[in-house]
């Protein structure tokens, strides 16, 4: 593969999750240095870092709580000191609480919003300010969801956080466009990974039923999400900003989220 992202520095939160790993590998294949963060111990990242480095690029892992603006800013400063100013910013860290509006607790609500929305803001804002100071162009790609526009009664907080993330994307895109910093969202539907895959594995036939609800009859694999992210990061993408790349196989066209 052509090293179209050579000399780029990518940062990815939630980098040890299925989508985070796929994005990190795809950007590394295209030549970017890769820095990932997560809340898991460093030992959990060692094998994955070696896989990235085997592609001929530099890589590092940091334990970062994205809900802390201080931790995020320190992480980005440390990356800049080692690799250079991050130019590809992928806020991906997220959790989900399987509760609706009647049962979610105030503590669960605040925790999920602090990671899924506020954490993404901390990362995008801090990295964008470093790009502006350095007078460098860049790409910010939020990992959103079709849940941003399709109500899901059993994951209320997640839906609200992703809806807020979508507007954050648009506001940042408008503000940063004159500086050559393009901001977009990739919004997957049913991904055959993470919590969804874990839940499907516990209930025989549920994965197949989920696929049947999708017009294309296909679930999304993490590497397919990564390809969309990488496309938005490519230097020849000079005009797409403030956009939502909805990749749900037509799910939101025909399927109520409460079924």
What is the tens place of the pLDDT at every residue in 75-118?
A: 999 999 999 999 999 999 999 999 999 999 999 999 999 999 99
Domain-embedded: residue 242:
yes
What's the pLDDT band for 199 if we cut at 50, 70, 90? Answer: confident
In a domain, 129, yes or no: yes
Domain-embedded: residue 145:
yes
Structural domain including 155 reads: 9-194+221-247
Report the CATH number at residue 88. Answer: 3.40.50.720
* 30 — pLDDT class (breaks 50, 70, 90): very high
Is 210 a member of any domain?
no
Of 221, 143, 128, 220, nearest to 181 by C-alpha is 128
Q: What is the pTM of this model?
A: 0.96
Residue 205 located in a structural domain: no
Question: To 5 degrees, how large is the angle CA 160–CA 165–CA 171?
Answer: 130
Q: Count the domains in the chain.
A: 1
> Is the residue at 4 inside a domain?
no
Q: How many CA atoms lie within 13 A of 161 on its CB side?
A: 28
In a domain, 199, yes or no: no
Q: Work out the average pLDDT over 208-234.
A: 96
Q: Is residue 152 part of a domain?
A: yes
255 pLDDT higher than 80: no
């Amino acid at each position: 593969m052509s090293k179209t992202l050579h000399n780029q520095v990518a940062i990815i939160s939630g980098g040890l999750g299925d989508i985070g790993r796929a994005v990190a590998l795809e950007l590394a294949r295209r030549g970017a240095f890769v820095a990932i963060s997560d809340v898991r111990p460093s030992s959990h990242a060692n094998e994955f870092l070696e896989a990235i480095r085997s592609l001929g690029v530099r890589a590092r892992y940091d334990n970062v709580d994205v809900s802390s603006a201080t931790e995020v800013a320190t992480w980005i400063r440390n990356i800049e000191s080692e690799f250079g100013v991050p130019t590809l910013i992928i806020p991906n860290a997220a959790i989900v609480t399987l509760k609706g509006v009647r049962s979610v607790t105030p503590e669960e609500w605040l925790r999920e919003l602090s990671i899924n929305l506020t954490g993404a803001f901390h990362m995008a804002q801090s990295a964008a300010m470093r790009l502006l100071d350095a007078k460098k162009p860049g790409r910010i790609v939020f990992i959103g969801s079709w849940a941003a526009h399709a109500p899901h009664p059993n994951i209320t907080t997640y839906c609200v956080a992703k809806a807020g993330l979508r507007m954050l994307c648009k506001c940042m895109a408008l503000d940063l466009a004159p500086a050559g910093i393009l901001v977009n969202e990739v919004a997957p539907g049913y991904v055959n990974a993470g919590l969804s895959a874990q839940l499907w594995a516990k209930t025989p036939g549920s994965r197949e039923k989920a696929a049947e609800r999708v017009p294309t009859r296909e679930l999304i694999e993490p590497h397919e999400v990564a390809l969309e992210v990488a496309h938005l990061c490519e230097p020849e993408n000079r005009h797409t900003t403030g956009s939502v790349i909805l990749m749900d196989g037509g799910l939101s066209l025909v399927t109520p989220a409460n079924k």
